[in-house]
Structure 1
Amino acid sequence: MTQARQAGVLLHITSLPSGSLGPDAYRFVDKLVEMGVSVWQTLPVNQPHGDHSPYQSVSAHAGHTGMISAEQLQHDGLCLPDEVELPLHALIAKVMSRVQSGGATSRTDGHGLTWPGFARFCQTQHYWLEDFALFQSLREQHAEQSWQQWPEAYRLHDVMALQAFTSTHQDKLSLIKFTQYVFFQQWVQLKIYANQRGIQLFGDIPIFVAYDSADVWAHPEWFKLDADLNMTVVAGVPPDYFSETGQRWGNPHYDWPVMQADGFAWWLGRIDTQAQLFDVLRIDHFRGLQAAWEIPSMEPTAINGSWQEAPGHALLQAMTDTFPQLRLVAEDLGIITPEVDALRHAFDLPGMKILQFAFGGDDDNPYLPDHIEPNSVAYTGTHDNDTTLGWYQAAPEHVRNHLQHYFTQHLQQDGVEMPTSLIQLTLHSNANLAVVPMQDILALDTQARMNTPGTTEGNWLWRMEWSQLTDEKRLAFRHLVEESGRVHG
């Protein structure tokens, strides 16, 4: 990804105080610059379902409209002060009307909302936008029920029925498309601001899509479904560090021969969409590109599944041929075989090293800092881990002792202070990029955990407060970045 030593911070957009692409996002970029950081990593930014999980979206392409900032629209001259608190659909309808009538925008950099710009957006994003707008409109028409519960004509994607629906719902469909236009424009504006200040945006692509999504509804032939369009197998992982019964994610599996027959067109379109938003992309559950765990759909847990091979080499070759400047990172956690490693090495992709996994075992643990190779991304923990302080507080004594011994031996410092000590070990590792979750910079405990794998309640809700990022914490982290040779700016 890069030969230079860099530092990054992991914070999802929804974890900003406002949870949006407005002033808080720009302020956060400024704080990253002050801390000497050059990479901002987020979770997937697609439109989620009601559980808020960014890994279960209604579209592999569409942006999360909840991230749209009314304050930013006001700043751009398209929203009046008394409209900021309106429901999103009502606010966007007013903005759309103003833009359509040529309403002025305060932006002078060429990145404001315009009606010709909206027309170009609809044209360039046609490969997913039409299906998504139809899907969302039909979903609203049917009380947010899964497409499998819709009347047969809509469920089976009957062309005549959809044409009739389209002709009578033009305004609604246009508003859905325009809302996506607003999201993409606000994101591009933020990306330009970040890039101009030396900050790269690092995104995340979930390997699977949700069953109740525009992608599966519009193209069921790309997935392993039966004659009634029900899933025959679902995705997940076998028992591991996180769960004794494995994780049953419930996503449909790809019908790889069908996808490969058209040159992986859907995947290439997906990469194209995300490459507009990010400078670097992480492929979540990378091992699934070599072989994925298939669970019979009737099984209640992930225990009774099997590994099924995927054409990962052909897919990655198509990606790199189509997008030669693409920078990818492989999320290679979990059960990793020599075949998975070989696939990653064939395309020289950085893997991930989690230091919370490094201690309490043997000295040959691959997550120990002195075993980390430069072509890696090192983390204290990820969104699926406890915060480092929470992890350490709950860690068994032998894990703490191992960490204490290792820290003293390798950094010649007495006494472990958490989470600072694990941050230091991460930043001092050989990995070209070291990423620290914002919760660790703020020294927060388990209450600030983002996600607990295998659970469905209380996840994805944490938000930081600006008061937590004191000058002392900001300067302390800058010092750690500087002393590890990763400073930027």
Structure 2
Amino acid sequence: MKRASGILLPIASLPSRYGIGTFSRCAYDFVDFLERAGQRYWQILPLGPTGYGDSPYQSFSTFAGNPYFIDLDQLAEEGLLSEEECEAIDAQEDGQYIDYQKLYETRFDILRKAYERSSLAEKPEYQDFLEENKEWLEDYCLFMAVKDWFGGKSFAEWDEDIRLRRPEAVERFRELLAEEIDFYRFQQFYFQKQWYRLKKYANSHGVEIIGDIPIYVAFDSADTWSEPALFQFDENGTPSAISGCPPDGFSATGQVWGNPLYDWEYHEKTGYAWWIKRMRRCFRLYDIVRVDHFRGFDEYFSIPYGQDTAQGGHWAKGPGIALFHALQKELGETRIIAEDLGFLTDSVIRFVRDTGYPGMKVLEFAFDSREESNYLPHTYTQNCVAYTGTHDNQTVVGWFRSLPEEDYRMAVRYLDLKREDENEINWKMIRTVLASVADTAIIPIQDYLGLDDAARINTPSKLGGNWIWRMKKNALTEEMEKKIRELTELYGRC
């Protein structure tokens, strides 16, 4: 990758008129800001429809898009909504946090009004969309319609015949819920139409999109319900094992994530067809794909289903390099970022190196006074992506304020930080990342803005209060744009 830099800002965190970031004028304005500031990349979080907990990493589908991101103003421009209807939803135009409950209660009602006026069946571009996405679209739309029929319950609680996808039940629900299924098709059509338009605009202005996908899918998803053979399920559709990580210094009992694990033997027999389908979709949506928990392709931690802790789990072998050879054969050379953070075994290090993909370096991880760190910039290689922090970290300002004394001293020494400089710790960290030899540097927008942990995106293992931060409408100033561009030029990233 050519030496360059970019900014991390989730779509949901964009300012907009309607309570959550969308593919609106504000998104196009952000692309313009990136271009003027000399940035080549816009990194986002997963775009899938979110469920319980509002996490983009626990989506109802790994292929579908989040209908909350559909821009209502564009629907109004097409005559599908009135300005009065848009204003009536009362969505806190410039609120700092997303109210997902209000979104759930209001957004689908107004989208349904647009759907009822759309006459999509008559449009050739809609028919092309249906054909292009038929591999996943019909199963997803049926899944969501049936989920609504059962009051939003997990498919594990549905009636047995439709839970196990018996053909007569599938056909019965297709007929019974035909209009609801069509409404979900409508949502996905406009999600894709508006996203492709935004991505095309970004690319035409020299900005590439770095997308993000979790390695696993959610248990309650169209993916698991429609293709159970892909996963370690028994004959009743119940997982035999689930994902997590083992006990360590941070958690004496480990972490239970709860995602179903892949049946890698089955995937190998199919030539990794589902993964090829998944990644083909990704590279239609994004220019570069960051794959979360990349080490799980080498080895993954398996926990018996029903366990409350990870103490009874064990490591098992993943598909390794064979999966990526299959992807390369079908898709050609692909641009992937391997999320390889945390403790890495020699086997994982060799695996990431053999793929050739750049790994990640997070500067906030560098100043642990208890041990040597390969997150210190003088240890970087060119083939990596350097960050001040990610969506899972504190903002730089929040991180610095909470450092233990010994780590604080180490950071002060390494960064050559004077007492009078501490109020600008974010810029000191940003400079250090941009000056590093890493080919790619990505800075979360909160760090450019100098915000504290009130602007943090996610705190892992914390229930509630995540994924809600929004950037204020006028946060990005000409002064900031100029300062970012000057630093970008200074360190050869323009």
Give yes or no for TM over 0.5. yes
For residues 19-74 of structure 1, give each alpha carbon's deviation from its aligned partner in whole angstroms, at most 9, with x where no partner exists. 11111111111111122111000111111103110110111101011111101222
Conserved? CA contact 1:407–1:413, under 8 Å: no
One of 62, 74, 77 as aligned partner of 2:76: 74
**In the alignment, structure 1 residue 422 sits paired with structure 2 residue 441:** no
Which amino acid is the alignment partner of residue 25 of structure 1? Answer: A
The structural deviation recorded for 1:243 is 4.2
**1:236 Cα deviation (Å)?**
1.3
Query: Please, which of 220, 229, 237 is the counterpart of residue 212 of structure 1?
Result: 220
1:469 paired to 2:476: yes
1:326-346 per-residue CA deviation (whole Å, 9 max, x = no partner) reads: 210100012211211222222
Give % identity: 39
SS at structure 2 position matched to 1:452? coil
* Alignment partner of 1:162 out of 170, 175, 193: 170
- The structural deviation recorded for 1:365 is 1.6
Contact 1:57–1:209 (CA<8 Å) still a contact in 2? yes
SS at match of 1:466: coil
Match of 1:201 among 202, 206, 209: 209
Structure 1 position 132 matched with structure 2 position 135:
no
Match of 1:50 in 2: 52
1:253 maps to: 261
Distance 1:89 1:466, change over 3 A: closer
SS where residue 237 of structure 2 aligns?
A: coil
- Report the Cα distance in structure 2 between the residues aligned to 1:71 and 1:456, rounded to whole angstroms: 33
Offset of residue 301 of structure 1: 2.1
Alpha-carbon deviations, 1:80-115, whole Å to 9, x = none? 32332564444444444554279xxxxxxxxxxx72
Look up the equivalent residue of 1:45 and give its one-letter code.
L
Answer yes or no: is 1:151 the counterpart of 2:178. Answer: no
Q: 1:314 Cα deviation (Å)?
A: 1.2
User: How do 1:218-233 residues align onto structure 2 when only pairs under 5 Å count?
Assistant: 218-233=226-241
Question: CA contact under 8 A between 1:223 and 1:255: conserved in structure 2?
Answer: yes
CA–CA separation in structure 1 for the residues paired with 2:381 and 2:371: 16
Encode CA deviations 1:415-458: one digit per residue, 9 max, x unaligned.
45311111111111111000011110110111111111111211
Match of 2:4 in 1: 6
Counterpart in the other structure of 2:359: 351
Relative to structure 1, the CA distance from residue 242 to residue 195 in structure 2 (aligned partners, 3 Å threshold; closer, same or farther) is farther
8 Å CA contact retained: 1:408, 1:414: no
Distance 2:13 2:492 in 1: 28
- 1:168-201 deviation line (CA, Å, top 9, x unaligned): 3222111111210100111000000100000000
Tell me, yes or no, if the aligned pair for 2:146 and 2:177 is still in contact at 8 Å. no
- AA partner of residue 11 (structure 1): L
Q: Which residue does the alignment assign to 1:331?
A: 339
1:443 to 417, 429, 450: 450
Q: Which residue type is aligned with residue 62 of structure 1?
A: A
One-letter amino acid of the counterpart of residue 369, structure 2 = G
Query: Equivalent residue for 1:61?
Result: 63
Distance 2:252 2:441 in 1: 30
1:400 corresponding residue in structure 2: 408
Partners of 1:60 and 1:197 in 2: how far apart? 28
Counterpart CA distance in 2 for 1:436 and 1:290 is 28
Q: Which residue in 1 is equivalent to 2:96?
A: none
Partner of 1:34: 36
Q: State the match for 1:123 in structure 2.
A: 131
Of 414-423 and 369-378, more deviation after overlay is shown by 414-423
Distance in structure 2 (CA, Å) of the matches to 1:215 and 1:322? 21
Cα displacement (A) at 1:400: 2.0
Corresponding position of 1:457 = 464
**Post-superposition offset of 1:474:** 3.0
SS in 2 for 1:419: helix
CA distance in 2, matches of 1:115, 1:244: 57
| Residues 123-165 of structure 1: CA deviation (Å, up to 9, x unaligned) | 1111111110110000000000011111111111011111122
Q: Which runs of 5+ in 1 are unaligned?
A: 103-113
The one-letter code of the counterpart of 1:250 is: G
1:240–1:479 Cα change, 3 Å: farther
With the length of structure 1 as denominator, give the TM-score of the two structures. 0.92
In the alignment, residue 13 of structure 2 is paired with which amino acid?
A: S
The 5-angstrom pairing of residues 378-393 of structure 1 reads: 378-393=386-401
Q: How many residues get paired?
A: 472
Equivalent position SS for 2:351? helix
Q: In structure 2, the residue corresponding to 1:51 is in which secondary structure?
A: helix
Contact between 1:208 and 1:253, CA under 8 Å: does it hold in 2?
A: yes
Change (3 A) 1:243 1:385: farther
SS in 1 for 2:436: coil
Counterpart in the other structure of 2:13: 15
Cα deviation for residue 316 of structure 1 reads: 0.9
AA at the equivalent of 1:286: F
Q: Which amino acid aligns with 2:263?
A: D
Q: Which amino acid aligns with 2:454?
A: Q
Residues 246 and 254 in structure 2, CA contact (< 8 A), matched pair in contact too: yes
Contact between 2:164 and 2:236, CA under 8 Å: does it hold in 1?
no
- Taking only aligned residues, the RMSD between alpha carbons, in angstroms, comes to 2.0
Give the Cα–Cα distance (whole angstroms) in 1 for the partners of residues 52 and 460 of structure 2. 17
Deviates most, 295-304 or 348-357 = 295-304
Measured after TM superposition, the shift of residue 482 of structure 1 is 2.1
User: Paired residue for 1:283, among 285, 291, 295?
Assistant: 291
Q: CA deviation at 1:397?
A: 2.1
Conservation of the 8 A alpha-carbon contact between 1:65 and 1:180:
yes
Greater CA deviation, 16-25 or 284-293? 16-25
Alpha-carbon separation, structure 1, partners of 2:120 and 2:38: 44
Using structure 2 for the length normalisation, give the TM-score: 0.91
- Asked if structure 1 preserves the Cα contact closer than 8 Å seen for 2:243 and 2:256, the reply is yes
Pick which of 294-303 and 32-41 moved more: 294-303
Report SS of the residue matched to 1:276.
helix
The separation in 2 between residues aligned to 1:75 and 1:426, in whole angstroms, is: 42
Q: Gaps spanning 5+ residues in structure 2: where?
A: 90-105
Q: 1:28 to 1:76 in 2, by over 3 A?
A: farther
| Structure 2 CA distance for partners of 1:239 and 1:380, relative to 1, 3 Å | farther
Going from structure 1 to structure 2, the CA distance change for 1:303 and 1:226 (only over 3 Å counts) comes to same
